[in-house]
Each structure stands twice: as C-alpha cells, then as structure tokens.
Amino acid sequence: MVVSLVKGQKIDLTRNNPDMNLLHIGLDWHSPKQFDVDVSAFLLGHDDKIVREEDFVFYGQSVSSNGSVSLEESLSTIEKQHFIINLSNVSNEVQKISFTLTIYESELNGDTFQDVTDIKLRIVNSRLQQEVAIFPIDYSFTKEGAVVIGTLYRYSGVWKFHAVGSGFSGGLSDLCADYGVEIDSPIDVTQNPVPTIQPPTDSIQRFQTVIDRVGSEVGEVVPTPPIEHVQLKRSSVVQFNESRIETLSNQSAELIHLFDDAHGDESQTVEPNPIETQITPNFFQTGTEEKDHDAFFHTLSEVDKTFLLMFENGQIAVNAAKEYLKKHGLMLAFFVNTINEKANEHLDDNLLQIYNESIKVFEEFEPLVEKIKERVRNEH
C-alpha cells in the first residue's frame, strides 16, 4: 500500500522493514521552459550541518563522500531526477538527509516557485521496485527560490521520512550557508549582489558527470568530482512570506498524522494529548509524559533554550526573533522548523507557530515552555 503524505507528516521506513536499505527518491515538477530547476541532497550531522563538503550532492557533485547517496537523471516520464540512497552505507555521523529544489540563478532572473507546480517526491524500495510513499505538494508557493521537500532521518536506530514541503526566499546559496557548505565571495565587487554558481549553464553539460558515470565501463574507477563552492555576494536580507508560512502551518496542523514511535504504529492518526494545566512541583509531569518532556528538553541546544527564554506570555515578535537568530547565522523558518521537528519526536506535535508578526507557542504547550524557562534559569 502506497502512503500519500501531507505536509508535516512522518512515516517509519525501516522499523518493520529492516531489509529496506536501498531507496529510490524520485522528484518531479512542472515549470516554464526557461526555468532550470535543480535538486540537491545535504547529508547532515547532529548539528544540522553537512558532515563534510563532499556530502553535498548536487549537479556539480553527483555522489556523496562514500557513495551512499548518488544523483541521477531519470529516464522515466513520471519523474525528472532521482537519488539512490544506500542506507547500509550511510556514515554513522549522518543523522539526516535533506532533499531540496532550487531555481538556478533565481534572484538574478527573478524566477520563483510561484510558477512551479505539481511538485512530487516518491519513495521507492529499489530492491523490490515497490513504491512506498508519495508526497505531492498540492499548494502554491509565492516568492520563494528554494524548497525543502523532505528529510530522511534516523530515530532510535531506524530510518524515517519527514514531509517538510517548506519554501524559502533566496536560492541554493542560502541553503548552502544554512547547511554549512563553504561559501566563497567573488573578488569583483562591481557586480550586482546576487549568488552565482560556476558550473556550465547548459543543463545537459551540467549533468555530464552523471551521464559519464553511468556510461563508464565495468570496473573503471570513477574519480570523485571536486566540490563546487557557491559564489556568494549579497547585501539583501532574506525575507519570508510569514503569512503564507502561517497559513500552511495551520493547514498542516489539521492534516498531520501523528505516529506512535513506542509501538511502531506509523499509520494510525491520534489526537495530541494537551499538557495538564495544573503543574506538579516537579519540573515535568510524572510517568511517561515526564520522560517525554525531559527527553525533549535534552534535545534543545543552548541557542534553542535562550530563544525560548525570550518568550513572554507564550509569544515573541518576529522582528525580535530574527534579530536574535541573525547573531547566530540562522534563518527564522529553518530554526522554527527544527524546534518543531524535535517537538514532534517527543511531544507528538509542533511547539511553535508563526502567526502574523509573532511566533506563538501552541496553547497546550505554554505551561511546558514556562517550566523549560524555569529549568534553564535554575541551571544558570
């Protein structure tokens, strides 16, 4: 049975299928002919940064450092490109593999994902040639130049998939900066402040590395292509369509299926349990809930904890949040999504939502955030 995913949903891939270790991740979309849409995969560690430069897989570097992830053009009419993921060979340092779409030189040409439709991601068990799940993005973007479609991630020794489906301003260079890919600045300061990439511009030439690899003789050693550094010179501030993000977040909250990790039942939809309004003298509630809350607290970084300290009455102004995150080189939408991923793992729901000009804690989690703030203050 093929699972049709919605934005924010997570599914278990290998808990009940330990032999599912070779995946085909296919991507498709419709765009104007002049658009050059690129796919990329970032192999990330615990800090959500690439483990090494060779673990950024894109048109200029089609194979990851140890060959566990490779990018290929698809001959099928149902998808344009695909990744082959050998989960058995993925380094233990890699905790996530994030799949993205970007428009080549989007800022230079003014192209955005508003004109890209029918974006789909397919997960196929390659050994059985069996489709496992599909994530169709059936909503529209606006001024975004990049989309994070989804993420493969490890959890308690198994691999899962998170349907992210979030668009971001900027382009490939902004994603590279956020994921820790080294960025070079051009010497010529007279040119317009736009990100540029230095592979050949012709799409066929840009994927020559993939074609050459497939056409090589059996037994031939294929050298790992050198890392392409993104050339970046920009003075503009990244802007997000907060209203759109908030709308999609609210839609997602109504659609997301919650999964019971403890019993491996990923297909059952359940209602989230609200936090009790009467808090015990201890930091968290007792029993299973206490363990879940404590586990969530320990996933928070110092940046996360300090950020939550800034909340008053369960909210913080977007401008204040951006100013704080700017000091740490983080983008707001990515940061909120990361905290919500941690909350989904341990609280079975999102913790934060972007609403108009504020970031708010979901009402049922306001007492929990207050207790987190109290614990942080006590630790310091």
Task: Give pLDDT, residue 183.
Answer: 61
Given a cut of 70, whether residue 216 has pLDDT beyond it is no
Burial class (CB in 10 A: 0-12, 13-18, 19+), 354: buried
**pLDDT tens-digit profile of 10-40?**
999 998 888 899 999 999 999 988 889 999 9
Note the pLDDT tens digit of each residue in 42-95. Answer: 999 999 999 999 999 998 899 999 999 999 988 878 899 999 999 999 999 999
Contact 97, 152 (CB under 8 A): yes
The model's pLDDT over 286-311, given as tens digits with 9 standing for 90+, comes to: 566 788 898 899 999 999 999 999 99
Mean pLDDT for the chain overall = 77
Confidence of residue 184 (pLDDT cuts 50, 70, 90): low
Paired strand residues for 166: 148
Q: Indicate whether 110 pLDDT > 50.
A: yes
Nearest to 139, CA basis, from 169, 162, 166, 112:
166
pLDDT at 83: 96
Give the tokens for residue 103.
Answer: 């428009």
Strands of 130-137's sheet in order across: 3-4, 130-137, 117-125, 22-30, 81-86, 69-73
Rounded Cα distance, 272 and 267, in Å: 15
The mean pLDDT value for 263-270 works out to 43
Q: What's the pLDDT score for residue 242? A: 54
